[in-house]
């Protein structure tokens, strides 16, 4: 188990864990304002429900995703979406990666 | 448990991001083959039949019963409409928000356009010579299809879809100018072929 790596100090630790990076990358492809149901996200990411919940909670604590409970008819539904802050953090993360690869590029 | 595992190589992290983004797109957008091929086949078959029955200069190249071309067009269009509607809705399932509203509005625009033209053409049919009936229905409906694909390209910034719509519009206008019979041939081969090609190209791009 590696914690946040010292060689990459500028990378956002919330996103830098592989599992959460996958979650955020996936959510970033949905249109702004779209919300995806938890089981569908789980199916797309091929993660267990428990694992996905844990990572979503961490992302939620950071204000990067918003998880809303609602009802579709009588069945309860959990909807997930990337917040504006999460989108910004992801964009920053990606440009930091690019800077690390090629220091002449990015911000 | 690799729960908090990280990627130390930024290049690897970028590849993971790209992989996941492509994977999501593949899940939440419909397979282009499912969206275009039913329509391509519909046009190839029914405009092909129309050309054979109502050929240029009013000649019947093949002595099919009169009702065959229009009935096959109507039946295949309904089937293709249901099929693509279901395929499109399936890919957007369990996603709510602006994009599903966009999809629904776009779907309703198609129905509204087709119904509006059917009502209009049905109303004026009696006063239009038989020789121009197929051109009126075929040319009118295909004009709508071309324009709606171009609009779809604008909505989703999908260049492929816009080009397809523009191609259909040009082919259709050329066919209409060329005249009855020829229009059906051109739309069947170039229009239906264009739809089949669009499905194939779209599918190859996202593999």
The 10s digit of each residue's pLDDT in B9-33 is 889 999 999 999 999 999 998 999 9
Sheet holding A65-72, edge to edge: A65-72, A75-82, A35-37, B95-96
At residue A73, the pLDDT reads: 81
CA B23 from chain center: how many Å?
Answer: 25
Chain B residue whose CA is closest to A12: B6
Averaged pLDDT score across all residues of chain B: 92
CATH of the domain spanning A13-101: 1.10.10.10
Q: Tell me the chain B residues in contact with residue A29 when contact means C-beta distances shorter than 8 Å.
A: 21, 24-25, 28
Residue B122 Cα distances to A41, B69, B96, B136, B178, angstroms: 47, 17, 38, 10, 24
Put simply, the answer to whether B25 touches A29 (Cβ < 8 Å) is: yes
Least confident of A42-51, B70-79, B153-162, B181-190: B70-79
**Euclidean distance between the first and final Cα of chain B, in Å?**
31
Put simply, the answer to whether B99 touches A30 (Cβ < 8 Å) is: yes
Residue ranges with strand state E in A10-90: 35-37, 65-72, 75-82
A35 CB within 8 Å of a chain B CB: yes
| Cα gap B79→B85, rounded to integer Å | 10
**Which of A28, A44, A106 to mutate to probe the B interface, most B CBs <10 Å?**
A44
DSSP-assigned beta bridge partners for residue A81: A66
Give residue limits of the domains in chain A: 13-101
Q: Tell me the chain A residues in contact with residue B97 when contact means C-beta distances shorter than 8 Å.
A: 30-31, 33-35, 81
CB B100 within 8 A of CB A31: no
Least confident of A22-31, B66-75, B116-125, B167-176: B66-75
The 10s digit of each residue's pLDDT in B32-50 is 999 999 999 999 999 999 9
The 10s digit of each residue's pLDDT in B103-112 is 889 989 999 9
Q: Encoding tokens for residue A84? A: 């504006």
């Amino acid at each position: 188990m590696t914690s946040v790596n010292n060689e990459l100090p500028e990378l956002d630790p919330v996103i830098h864990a592989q599992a959460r990076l996958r979650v955020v990358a996936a959510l970033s492809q949905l249109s702004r304002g779209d919300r995806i149901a938890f089981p569908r996200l789980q199916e797309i990411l091929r993660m267990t429900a428990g694992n996905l919940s844990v990572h979503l909670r961490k992302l939620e604590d950071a204000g990067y995703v918003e998880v809303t409970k609602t009802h579709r008819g009588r069945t309860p539904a959990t909807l997930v979406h990337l917040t504006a802050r999460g989108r910004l953090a992801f964009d920053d993360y990606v440009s930091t990666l690019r800077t690390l690869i090629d220091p002449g590029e990015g911000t | 448990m690799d729960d908090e595992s990280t990627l130390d190589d930024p290049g690897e992290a970028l590849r993971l991001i790209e992989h996941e983004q492509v994977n999501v797109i593949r899940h939440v957008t419909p397979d282009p083959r499912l969206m275009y091929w039913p329509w391509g086949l519909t046009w190839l078959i029914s405009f092909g039949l129309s050309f054979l029955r109502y050929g240029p200069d009013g000649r019947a190249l093949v002595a099919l019963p009169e009702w065959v071309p229009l009935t096959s067009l109507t039946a295949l269009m309904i089937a293709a409409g249901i099929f693509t509607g279901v395929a499109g809705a399936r890919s957007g399932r369990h996603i709510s928000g602006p994009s599903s509203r966009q999809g629904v509005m776009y779907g309703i625009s198609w129905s509204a356009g087709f119904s509006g033209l059917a009502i209009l053409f049905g109303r004026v049919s009696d006063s239009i010579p038989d020789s121009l009936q197929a051109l009126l229905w075929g040319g009118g409906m295909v004009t709508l299809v071309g324009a709606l694909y171009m609009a779809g390209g604008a909505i989703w910034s999908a260049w492929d879809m816009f080009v397809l719509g523009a191609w259909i519009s040009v082919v259709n206008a050329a066919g209409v100018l060329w005249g009855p019979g020829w229009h059906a041939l051109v739309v069947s081969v170039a229009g239906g072929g264009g739809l089949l090609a669009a499905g194939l190209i779209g599918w190859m791009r996202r593999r």
